[in-house]
Amino acid sequence: MPDYLAEYKAYYTARAKRFEADPDFPFSAKAENDLRDAMLSCNELGEFKQKLGNLNDLCAIALAKDGNVMRFKHYTALEEKVRALGPERIIAKADQYTQVMDLITMINEEENRNSLEIAADSLEPFEGNWFMLERLEVYEKAEVPAQWKKHMAQSAEEIRASLRENHRSTEEDMQRWKSGWKLDLNLLDETRHRRRFPYPDEEIRFRKQQYESIISKA
């Protein structure tokens, strides 16, 4: 006849061993050890139902904490301070929960909130229109035969108009999610944004001034 008590003890012991000596999972290691110890303390299988309590939920909560601690450390190391806000808040709130479904609700809410924060931190439409700014410079400065000058000037004005309209519509869309949102090109100096522009500082300053000059005439 199978010894189910021994099999359950072996199972929960194996679960706990997954996190042994793993520095990235300290909360999970403790929670799984507590669950294992509850099982090992049983002299018969029927005792476990009473001793289990919410230990399984606490294991899930611990795993969520460990995962978000790793995310927070990763984003902090990359100086992604806006992306780090989500896991930081989840870590701060996680210990308030004893039921995993309540924790899942909180995590979903915080991740949705953080998604909006990340969107509001965007440098669009400036970033996505870099190529258009380069084309505009060509149209403005290219030396062409006289018969082409009108065409070049018209093309340049069409780009300016497109940039202004794109800027206006982007701000309008973003303000539906964050009241008063305005594109802040001063964020270009922040590491999380600067790394996305593989250009010399002087070129970035020039494009910034170029873009601001265009949209100021909207």
CB 139 within 8 A of CB 156: yes
Write down the pTM of the prediction. Answer: 0.87
Question: What's the rounded Cα separation, in Å, for the pair 29 and 153?
Answer: 67
> Is there a single domain that holds both residue 19 and residue 86?
yes
Per-residue burial over 89-110, b if 16 or more Cβ lie within 10 Å, else e, is bbbeebeebeebeebeebbeeb
> Is there a single domain that holds both residue 12 and residue 113?
yes
- Domain of residue 57, residue span: 4-120
CB 124 within 8 A of CB 188: no
pLDDT at 196 over 70: yes
Q: Which of 70, 88, 120 is the last residue of a domain?
A: 120
Q: Which of 120, 153, 176 is the last residue of a domain?
A: 120
Question: What's the rounded Cα separation, in Å, for the pair 194 and 11?
Answer: 50
Q: Given pLDDT bands bounded at 50, 70 and 90, which one contains residue 218? A: low
> Is there a single domain that holds both residue 29 and residue 93?
yes
Per-residue burial over 2-39, b if 16 or more Cβ lie within 10 Å, else e, is eeebeeebeebeebbeebeeeeebebbbebbbebbebb
> Is there a single domain that holds both residue 13 and residue 82?
yes
Question: What's the rounded Cα separation, in Å, for the pair 37 and 9?
Answer: 9
Instruction: Name residue, tokens 């194996």.
Output: 14
Instruction: Name residue, tokens 């949705």.
Output: 112
CA dihedral 128, 116, 86, 81 (to 10 degrees): 40
Q: Which of 66, 91, 120 is the last residue of a domain?
A: 120
- What does the pLDDT look like over 26-81, one tens digit per residue? 999 999 999 999 989 988 888 888 888 899 999 999 999 999 999 999 999 999 99
> Is there a single domain that holds both residue 138 and residue 83?
no
> Is there a single domain that holds both residue 93 and residue 24?
yes
> Is there a single domain that holds both residue 134 and residue 106?
no
- What does the pLDDT look like over 68-112, one tens digit per residue? 999 999 999 999 999 999 999 999 999 999 889 999 999 999 999
Question: What's the rounded Cα separation, in Å, for the pair 131 and 143?
Answer: 20
> Is there a single domain that holds both residue 142 and residue 112?
no
Q: Given pLDDT bands bounded at 50, 70 and 90, which one contains residue 21? A: confident
